[in-house]
Amino acid sequence: MRRPLRRRAASAAIAALALSGLLLGTAQPAAADADHGRGPALYTPDPNPDALRQIAGLAKQGQYRDAARITAMIATPQAVWFGDQSPAEVEKLARDVVKDADRRDALPVFALYNIPGRDCSNYSAGGAANTAEYQAWIDAVARGIGTRDALVVLEPDALALLPADCGQDDAQGTKTAARYTEVNYAVDHLEPLPGTRVYLDTGHPGWHSVNAIVPRLIKGGVTHASGFYTNASNYLTDDANSWYGKLISSCVAYVRNEDGDVADCPNQWTPRADAQAWIDANVHVPASRMPHFVTDSSRNGRGPWTPPAGKYSDPQDWCNPPDRGLGARPTLRTGDPLQDARLWIKTPGESDGLCLRGTAGPEDPERGTVDPKAGDWFPQQALELARYANPPLFPTD
């Protein structure tokens, strides 16, 4: 019964896009992938079925402009998330995606999200039961990818949110040590694949300082990976993310190649002119020998949300903030020798979880509704992201 519904929803989405093109004065949305026609494009996975249902509902109500916006949003390249599947399941899924991407001459982005103790057992709790189970899962992903191309965003929050950070570790640091073992294992078994590039977690520039995250990256194996990523599922601006990436890359190079002390590195709060002068004076290796980075622009078109002053004991500014917009479209051509890509890592339109902002709930007090659980489609937020996209999804928006 689900398949006919999906076909009907997809047909309605296509019809809505075509009709809204007439209404908006253009038959095409704004360019979603700046790489198309100039080498491999980024891969667009099948959308969340609830996104298609929302498009069909909007079209049925005559809201063609919004239906077209959601259609353009889900037609934009974005990451494929894997987590919680069995090794056999994830191997098949990964193989199916890389084969499909190969047929399209596209590069798939995998967000692997199955680390033990994931999300400190909060909204996105789950993951493998132990290190051995996780390693078997990574082996399965590696078999699925094989020799085909893939870009891997490895375990969001794995390094930015260690077990020791949330009171889940013992006095000996057993779980945190296991976390580093697991991340290194994934790097050592995925990065050597012929077409795979692996990037490690840094959180975002509003969270850890450069001086705090660089030791975690080095301990996590960043020097054996292609690099790192920032802003996954968050809202910091492209400028803030690119600068943070440059500072982290420069600090790793300084520590590893110049035998420097991480405490000497400037961080994201250092005046930029001073930080750039420090880089020029202390980092002497070419960009090709420095760790590269990718960023997430899926929801940063209007930057981060500023909660009302004093209103909430825990504003949760990262959790389904209101009136945010899609950011710049994904691309492999950033113009920055250190930045390999700008991506949509977080699937825009999927909820961050049940956001209570320090209240008793169950409603999100900023929205007056009960937010869907993490990973479920959130129609209200999807519409906001599409309507407030910056740059806009359609030239006439």
User: So which residues are the catalytic ones?
Assistant: 119, 157, 352
**SS3 state of residue 199:** strand
Whether 343 contacts 297, CB under 8 Å: yes
CA 63/CA 396 separation, integer angstroms? 16
CA angle 168, 113, 32 (to 5 degrees): 140
What six digits make up the tokens of 265?
């590195």
CA 392/CA 379 separation, integer angstroms? 18
CA 151/CA 295 separation, integer angstroms? 12
For the CA atoms of 190, 143, 76, 73, the dihedral, rounded to the nearest 10 degrees, stands at -100
Beta strands in the chain (DSSP E): 41-42, 80-82, 106-107, 109-112, 150-154, 196-201, 227-230, 292-296, 339-343
Whether 190 contacts 153, CB under 8 Å: no
What six digits make up the tokens of 173?
């640091």
CA angle 258, 260, 266 (to 5 degrees): 110
**Residue among 360, 365, 368, 364 nearest 352 (CA):** 364
Whether 186 contacts 144, CB under 8 Å: no
Give 229's strand partners.
201, 294
Whether 220 contacts 176, CB under 8 Å: no
* Chain center to CA of 36: 21
Task: Calculate the alpha carbon distances from 312 to 24, 343, 373 in Å.
Answer: 40, 32, 21
CA 41/CA 250 separation, integer angstroms? 29
CA 312/CA 361 separation, integer angstroms? 12
Dihedrals phi, psi of 377, to nearest 5 degrees: -70, 140
Give 198's strand partners.
152
